[in-house]
A = this chain, B = another copy of it.
Amino acid sequence: MKFDKILLSHGSGGRLSQDLIQDIFLKDFGNEILDELNDSAVLDFSVPSVPSVPSGPSCLSCSRLSFTTDAYVVSPIFFPGGDIGRLSVCGTVNDLSMMGAKPLYLSVSFIIEEGLGIEELKAISRSIKEAADEAGVKIVCGDTKVVGKGMADRVFITTSGVGLIPDGIDISPRRICPGDSVIISGSIGDHGIAILSQREGLGFSSSLVSDAAPLNHLVASMLDEVGNDIHALRDPTRGGLATTLNEFAGRSNLSIKIYEDRIPVQDNVRAVCELLGFDPLYIANEGKLVAIVRNEVKDRVLALMRKHPLGINSAIIGEVVEKPEGLVCLITRIGGIRVVDMIAGEQLPRIC
Protein backbone atom coordinates (compact mmCIF):
# COMPACT_ATOMS: atom_id res chain seq x y z
CA MET A 1 0.00 0.00 0.00
CA LYS A 2 1.28 3.44 -0.89
CA PHE A 3 -0.66 5.11 1.91
CA ASP A 4 -0.73 4.70 5.65
CA LYS A 5 -4.25 6.01 6.10
CA ILE A 6 -7.55 5.45 4.33
CA LEU A 7 -8.46 8.24 1.91
CA LEU A 8 -11.89 9.07 0.53
CA SER A 9 -10.60 7.83 -2.83
CA HIS A 10 -10.22 4.33 -1.42
CA GLY A 11 -14.03 4.16 -1.58
CA SER A 12 -14.29 5.43 -5.14
CA GLY A 13 -14.65 2.16 -7.00
CA GLY A 14 -11.62 3.28 -9.02
CA ARG A 15 -8.03 2.18 -8.96
CA LEU A 16 -7.37 2.98 -5.30
CA SER A 17 -10.39 0.92 -4.28
CA GLN A 18 -9.08 -1.96 -6.33
CA ASP A 19 -5.65 -1.66 -4.73
CA LEU A 20 -7.22 -1.76 -1.28
CA ILE A 21 -9.24 -4.83 -2.14
CA GLN A 22 -6.27 -6.59 -3.75
CA ASP A 23 -3.67 -5.70 -1.15
CA ILE A 24 -5.72 -6.36 1.96
CA PHE A 25 -9.01 -8.14 1.52
CA LEU A 26 -8.22 -10.54 -1.31
CA LYS A 27 -4.89 -11.39 0.27
CA ASP A 28 -6.67 -12.42 3.46
CA PHE A 29 -10.00 -13.77 2.26
CA GLY A 30 -9.23 -14.93 -1.28
CA ASN A 31 -11.01 -18.05 -2.49
CA GLU A 32 -12.35 -19.28 -5.81
CA ILE A 33 -15.70 -17.57 -5.33
CA LEU A 34 -14.54 -14.19 -4.01
CA ASP A 35 -11.68 -13.97 -6.51
CA GLU A 36 -14.18 -13.72 -9.34
CA LEU A 37 -15.02 -10.20 -8.07
CA ASN A 38 -18.37 -10.22 -9.78
CA ASP A 39 -21.35 -8.11 -8.80
CA SER A 40 -22.51 -11.03 -6.73
CA ALA A 41 -21.01 -14.31 -5.60
CA VAL A 42 -22.20 -17.53 -7.19
CA LEU A 43 -22.81 -20.23 -4.59
CA ASP A 44 -22.83 -23.50 -6.43
CA PHE A 45 -24.44 -26.14 -4.28
CA SER A 46 -23.66 -28.80 -6.86
CA VAL A 47 -19.89 -28.78 -6.57
CA PRO A 48 -18.03 -30.83 -3.99
CA SER A 49 -16.19 -27.73 -2.78
CA VAL A 50 -19.23 -26.98 -0.67
CA PRO A 51 -18.35 -28.39 2.73
CA SER A 52 -20.33 -31.51 3.44
CA VAL A 53 -23.22 -31.14 5.79
CA PRO A 54 -23.61 -33.74 8.51
CA SER A 55 -26.85 -35.60 7.94
CA GLY A 56 -27.49 -32.87 5.42
CA PRO A 57 -29.53 -32.53 2.30
CA SER A 58 -28.23 -33.82 -0.98
CA CYS A 59 -30.68 -32.03 -3.13
CA LEU A 60 -29.50 -28.45 -3.01
CA SER A 61 -27.10 -30.30 -5.25
CA CYS A 62 -28.22 -29.03 -8.58
CA SER A 63 -28.55 -25.32 -8.26
CA ARG A 64 -26.78 -22.09 -7.80
CA LEU A 65 -27.58 -19.08 -5.71
CA SER A 66 -26.18 -15.61 -6.07
CA PHE A 67 -25.30 -13.67 -2.93
CA THR A 68 -24.23 -10.06 -2.64
CA THR A 69 -23.84 -7.15 -0.23
CA ASP A 70 -23.48 -3.39 -0.48
CA ALA A 71 -23.23 -0.58 2.03
CA TYR A 72 -25.05 2.66 1.20
CA VAL A 73 -23.73 5.92 2.62
CA VAL A 74 -25.18 8.40 0.12
CA SER A 75 -25.38 12.03 1.18
CA PRO A 76 -27.93 13.60 1.19
CA ILE A 77 -30.15 10.70 2.19
CA PHE A 78 -33.11 12.14 0.27
CA PHE A 79 -32.54 13.23 -3.32
CA PRO A 80 -34.56 13.77 -6.49
CA GLY A 81 -35.77 10.42 -7.73
CA GLY A 82 -35.22 8.49 -4.52
CA ASP A 83 -33.59 8.17 -1.17
CA ILE A 84 -31.07 5.94 0.57
CA GLY A 85 -33.78 3.32 1.13
CA ARG A 86 -34.72 2.97 -2.53
CA LEU A 87 -31.05 3.01 -3.48
CA SER A 88 -30.18 0.24 -1.04
CA VAL A 89 -32.80 -2.10 -2.48
CA CYS A 90 -32.17 -1.30 -6.14
CA GLY A 91 -28.42 -1.62 -5.83
CA THR A 92 -28.54 -5.06 -4.28
CA VAL A 93 -31.32 -6.32 -6.54
CA ASN A 94 -29.26 -5.16 -9.50
CA ASP A 95 -26.06 -6.81 -8.29
CA LEU A 96 -27.94 -10.11 -8.09
CA SER A 97 -29.53 -9.57 -11.49
CA MET A 98 -26.18 -8.94 -13.16
CA MET A 99 -25.27 -12.58 -12.58
CA GLY A 100 -28.47 -13.66 -14.30
CA ALA A 101 -30.09 -14.46 -10.97
CA LYS A 102 -33.68 -13.93 -10.01
CA PRO A 103 -33.47 -11.85 -6.80
CA LEU A 104 -35.62 -13.38 -4.05
CA TYR A 105 -34.61 -12.31 -0.56
CA LEU A 106 -33.00 -9.22 0.97
CA SER A 107 -31.55 -8.36 4.36
CA VAL A 108 -31.50 -4.75 5.52
CA SER A 109 -29.13 -3.51 8.19
CA PHE A 110 -29.34 0.03 9.56
CA ILE A 111 -26.69 2.07 11.33
CA ILE A 112 -28.56 5.11 12.59
CA GLU A 113 -27.12 8.27 14.10
CA GLU A 114 -28.79 9.28 17.32
CA GLY A 115 -31.20 12.13 16.59
CA LEU A 116 -32.42 10.99 13.17
CA GLY A 117 -36.08 11.97 12.87
CA ILE A 118 -38.53 9.11 13.24
CA GLU A 119 -40.50 10.51 10.31
CA GLU A 120 -37.39 10.40 8.15
CA LEU A 121 -36.76 6.80 9.14
CA LYS A 122 -40.37 5.99 8.33
CA ALA A 123 -40.03 7.58 4.90
CA ILE A 124 -36.89 5.54 4.22
CA SER A 125 -38.60 2.39 5.42
CA ARG A 126 -41.53 3.03 3.07
CA SER A 127 -39.14 3.55 0.17
CA ILE A 128 -37.47 0.25 0.94
CA LYS A 129 -40.85 -1.45 0.99
CA GLU A 130 -41.91 0.14 -2.30
CA ALA A 131 -38.67 -0.71 -4.08
CA ALA A 132 -38.81 -4.28 -2.76
CA ASP A 133 -42.38 -4.61 -4.06
CA GLU A 134 -41.33 -3.18 -7.41
CA ALA A 135 -38.57 -5.76 -7.65
CA GLY A 136 -40.72 -8.56 -6.23
CA VAL A 137 -38.30 -9.41 -3.43
CA LYS A 138 -38.95 -10.07 0.24
CA ILE A 139 -37.07 -8.53 3.13
CA VAL A 140 -36.46 -11.48 5.41
CA CYS A 141 -34.01 -10.28 8.05
CA GLY A 142 -32.42 -7.12 9.34
CA ASP A 143 -30.59 -5.35 12.09
CA THR A 144 -30.70 -1.93 13.69
CA LYS A 145 -27.78 -0.29 15.43
CA VAL A 146 -27.77 3.24 16.84
CA VAL A 147 -24.56 5.21 17.32
CA GLY A 148 -24.11 8.48 19.18
CA LYS A 149 -24.56 11.94 17.70
CA GLY A 150 -21.60 12.73 15.44
CA MET A 151 -20.56 9.07 15.09
CA ALA A 152 -22.32 8.52 11.74
CA ASP A 153 -23.96 10.70 9.10
CA ARG A 154 -27.70 10.30 9.77
CA VAL A 155 -28.16 6.77 8.46
CA PHE A 156 -26.17 4.11 6.64
CA ILE A 157 -27.87 1.04 5.20
CA THR A 158 -26.27 -2.24 4.22
CA THR A 159 -28.38 -4.61 2.16
CA SER A 160 -27.49 -8.14 1.21
CA GLY A 161 -29.42 -10.34 -1.15
CA VAL A 162 -29.93 -13.90 -2.26
CA GLY A 163 -31.12 -14.88 -5.72
CA LEU A 164 -31.56 -18.05 -7.69
CA ILE A 165 -29.63 -18.54 -10.91
CA PRO A 166 -31.73 -20.46 -13.42
CA ASP A 167 -30.14 -23.73 -14.53
CA GLY A 168 -27.87 -23.33 -17.49
CA ILE A 169 -27.51 -19.55 -17.24
CA ASP A 170 -23.89 -18.45 -17.19
CA ILE A 171 -23.28 -14.71 -17.25
CA SER A 172 -19.68 -13.69 -16.68
CA PRO A 173 -17.03 -11.34 -18.06
CA ARG A 174 -15.03 -14.49 -18.84
CA ARG A 175 -17.51 -15.20 -21.64
CA ILE A 176 -16.86 -11.94 -23.49
CA CYS A 177 -15.65 -12.61 -27.07
CA PRO A 178 -14.25 -10.51 -29.89
CA GLY A 179 -17.13 -9.33 -32.06
CA ASP A 180 -19.58 -9.01 -29.16
CA SER A 181 -21.74 -5.91 -29.02
CA VAL A 182 -21.92 -3.47 -26.12
CA ILE A 183 -25.38 -2.25 -25.17
CA ILE A 184 -26.30 0.33 -22.52
CA SER A 185 -29.88 0.45 -21.24
CA GLY A 186 -30.20 4.25 -21.26
CA SER A 187 -28.61 7.59 -20.54
CA ILE A 188 -25.58 7.71 -18.27
CA GLY A 189 -24.70 9.88 -15.30
CA ASP A 190 -28.23 10.63 -14.09
CA HIS A 191 -27.78 9.34 -10.55
CA GLY A 192 -24.45 10.92 -9.73
CA ILE A 193 -25.40 14.29 -11.17
CA ALA A 194 -28.78 14.28 -9.37
CA ILE A 195 -26.97 13.69 -6.07
CA LEU A 196 -24.40 16.35 -6.82
CA SER A 197 -26.94 18.95 -7.80
CA GLN A 198 -28.99 18.28 -4.68
CA ARG A 199 -25.91 18.40 -2.48
CA GLU A 200 -24.51 21.57 -3.95
CA GLY A 201 -27.89 23.28 -4.24
CA LEU A 202 -27.44 23.85 -7.96
CA GLY A 203 -30.39 25.78 -9.38
CA PHE A 204 -31.30 23.25 -12.04
CA SER A 205 -31.76 20.37 -9.65
CA SER A 206 -35.47 20.02 -10.41
CA SER A 207 -34.83 18.52 -13.81
CA LEU A 208 -32.08 16.15 -12.61
CA VAL A 209 -33.47 12.93 -11.23
CA SER A 210 -31.69 9.79 -10.06
CA ASP A 211 -32.32 6.74 -12.21
CA ALA A 212 -32.35 4.35 -9.21
CA ALA A 213 -34.47 1.39 -10.27
CA PRO A 214 -34.52 -2.40 -9.94
CA LEU A 215 -33.40 -3.94 -13.21
CA ASN A 216 -34.33 -7.56 -12.49
CA HIS A 217 -37.44 -7.64 -14.64
CA LEU A 218 -35.55 -6.14 -17.59
CA VAL A 219 -32.79 -8.72 -17.16
CA ALA A 220 -35.30 -11.57 -16.88
CA SER A 221 -36.90 -10.59 -20.18
CA MET A 222 -33.49 -10.39 -21.84
CA LEU A 223 -32.53 -13.84 -20.55
CA ASP A 224 -35.87 -15.25 -21.66
CA GLU A 225 -35.24 -13.91 -25.14
CA VAL A 226 -31.62 -14.86 -25.81
CA GLY A 227 -30.32 -16.69 -22.71
CA ASN A 228 -26.59 -17.21 -22.74
CA ASP A 229 -26.15 -15.12 -25.86
CA ILE A 230 -25.86 -12.45 -23.21
CA HIS A 231 -22.25 -12.92 -22.19
CA ALA A 232 -21.82 -10.33 -19.45
CA LEU A 233 -23.97 -7.86 -17.54
CA ARG A 234 -23.04 -5.17 -15.08
CA ASP A 235 -24.64 -2.07 -13.60
CA PRO A 236 -22.24 0.84 -13.95
CA THR A 237 -22.53 2.33 -10.45
CA ARG A 238 -19.48 3.82 -8.65
CA GLY A 239 -16.91 4.77 -11.26
CA GLY A 240 -19.57 4.85 -13.99
CA LEU A 241 -19.58 3.29 -17.45
CA ALA A 242 -15.82 3.79 -17.86
CA THR A 243 -14.99 1.69 -14.82
CA THR A 244 -17.39 -1.11 -15.76
CA LEU A 245 -16.00 -1.33 -19.28
CA ASN A 246 -12.45 -1.32 -17.94
CA GLU A 247 -13.34 -4.19 -15.64
CA PHE A 248 -14.78 -6.08 -18.62
CA ALA A 249 -11.70 -5.38 -20.74
CA GLY A 250 -9.38 -6.40 -17.94
CA ARG A 251 -11.21 -9.59 -17.07
CA SER A 252 -11.58 -10.74 -20.67
CA ASN A 253 -8.16 -9.48 -21.76
CA LEU A 254 -9.84 -7.98 -24.81
CA SER A 255 -10.46 -4.43 -25.94
CA ILE A 256 -13.73 -2.53 -25.85
CA LYS A 257 -14.35 0.14 -28.45
CA ILE A 258 -17.14 2.61 -27.80
CA TYR A 259 -18.43 5.52 -29.88
CA GLU A 260 -18.95 8.83 -28.12
CA ASP A 261 -21.85 9.86 -30.34
CA ARG A 262 -23.81 6.69 -29.56
CA ILE A 263 -23.65 7.00 -25.77
CA PRO A 264 -26.91 8.46 -24.46
CA VAL A 265 -26.42 11.43 -22.11
CA GLN A 266 -29.30 13.68 -21.11
CA ASP A 267 -28.85 17.33 -22.03
CA ASN A 268 -29.12 18.57 -18.44
CA VAL A 269 -26.58 15.98 -17.25
CA ARG A 270 -24.24 16.96 -20.06
CA ALA A 271 -24.69 20.64 -19.15
CA VAL A 272 -23.76 20.09 -15.50
CA CYS A 273 -20.80 17.96 -16.51
CA GLU A 274 -19.50 20.61 -18.88
CA LEU A 275 -20.04 23.36 -16.33
CA LEU A 276 -18.19 21.55 -13.57
CA GLY A 277 -15.64 19.64 -15.60
CA PHE A 278 -16.93 16.12 -15.01
CA ASP A 279 -16.87 13.34 -17.55
CA PRO A 280 -20.24 11.52 -17.64
CA LEU A 281 -18.40 8.28 -18.43
CA TYR A 282 -17.23 8.22 -14.82
CA ILE A 283 -20.49 9.26 -13.14
CA ALA A 284 -22.52 6.69 -11.20
CA ASN A 285 -25.74 5.18 -12.46
CA GLU A 286 -28.21 3.23 -10.32
CA GLY A 287 -30.76 2.04 -12.85
CA LYS A 288 -28.74 1.21 -15.93
CA LEU A 289 -27.02 -1.90 -17.16
CA VAL A 290 -24.32 -2.65 -19.67
CA ALA A 291 -24.81 -5.87 -21.61
CA ILE A 292 -22.17 -7.59 -23.69
CA VAL A 293 -24.07 -9.74 -26.17
CA ARG A 294 -23.29 -11.96 -29.10
CA ASN A 295 -23.23 -9.78 -32.21
CA GLU A 296 -25.89 -11.88 -33.99
CA VAL A 297 -28.54 -11.11 -31.35
CA LYS A 298 -27.80 -7.46 -30.71
CA ASP A 299 -30.74 -6.07 -32.65
CA ARG A 300 -33.22 -8.48 -31.07
CA VAL A 301 -31.92 -7.63 -27.61
CA LEU A 302 -31.98 -3.91 -28.32
CA ALA A 303 -35.55 -4.02 -29.61
CA LEU A 304 -36.66 -5.94 -26.56
CA MET A 305 -34.87 -3.60 -24.14
CA ARG A 306 -36.42 -0.53 -25.76
CA LYS A 307 -39.88 -1.95 -25.11
CA HIS A 308 -39.19 -2.09 -21.37
CA PRO A 309 -39.89 1.11 -19.36
CA LEU A 310 -36.36 0.99 -17.92
CA GLY A 311 -34.72 0.45 -21.30
CA ILE A 312 -36.48 2.94 -23.60
CA ASN A 313 -33.25 4.76 -24.42
CA SER A 314 -31.12 1.65 -24.84
CA ALA A 315 -28.38 1.93 -27.41
CA ILE A 316 -25.66 -0.18 -28.97
CA ILE A 317 -22.59 1.85 -28.08
CA GLY A 318 -19.70 -0.27 -29.24
CA GLU A 319 -18.10 -3.63 -29.75
CA VAL A 320 -15.47 -5.95 -28.38
CA VAL A 321 -12.25 -6.26 -30.38
CA GLU A 322 -9.04 -8.15 -29.79
CA LYS A 323 -6.60 -5.32 -29.34
CA PRO A 324 -5.31 -3.30 -27.57
CA GLU A 325 -5.73 -5.94 -24.87
CA GLY A 326 -7.34 -4.86 -21.63
CA LEU A 327 -8.07 -1.32 -22.82
CA VAL A 328 -11.22 0.69 -23.46
CA CYS A 329 -11.03 3.03 -26.45
CA LEU A 330 -13.47 5.84 -27.16
CA ILE A 331 -13.99 6.95 -30.74
CA THR A 332 -14.70 10.64 -30.28
CA ARG A 333 -17.27 12.68 -32.18
CA ILE A 334 -14.58 13.99 -34.47
CA GLY A 335 -13.20 10.52 -35.12
CA GLY A 336 -10.23 10.60 -32.75
CA ILE A 337 -9.35 7.73 -30.45
CA ARG A 338 -9.02 8.23 -26.70
CA VAL A 339 -8.07 5.56 -24.19
CA VAL A 340 -10.67 5.58 -21.40
CA ASP A 341 -8.68 4.70 -18.31
CA MET A 342 -9.85 3.92 -14.83
CA ILE A 343 -9.60 6.92 -12.59
CA ALA A 344 -7.43 6.64 -9.53
CA GLY A 345 -9.77 8.33 -7.11
CA GLU A 346 -13.24 9.59 -7.72
CA GLN A 347 -14.91 12.68 -9.00
CA LEU A 348 -17.78 12.55 -6.52
CA PRO A 349 -17.65 10.93 -3.12
CA ARG A 350 -20.65 9.37 -1.36
CA ILE A 351 -22.97 9.11 -4.31
CA CYS A 352 -24.18 5.65 -3.28
Interface residues of A (CB under 8 A from B): 1, 3-12, 17, 20-21, 24-25, 28-29, 31, 33-34, 40-41, 43, 45, 50-51, 53-57, 59-63, 65, 67-73, 75, 102, 104-105, 107-119, 121-122, 125-126, 128-129, 132, 136, 138-148, 150-153, 156, 158, 160, 162, 164, 166-168, 220, 223-224, 349-350, 352
Contact = CB atoms under 8 A, between A and B. Distances in A.
Contacts of A126: 28
Given A24-B125, A60-B164, A112-B11, A138 B31 contact: yes
B139 A34 contact: yes
Query: Which 10 A-B pairs have CB atoms at the shortest separation, nearest pair first?
Result: A11-B146, A160-B160, A69-B107, A158-B158, A41-B140, A57-B63, A28-B129, A29-B139, A151-B153, A41-B141
Contacts of A107: 41, 67-69, 160
Nearest to A102: B53
A153 B147 contact: yes
Nearest to A68: B141
How many copies of this protein are present in the complex? 2
A65 B5 CA distance: 39
A180 B147 CA distance: 38
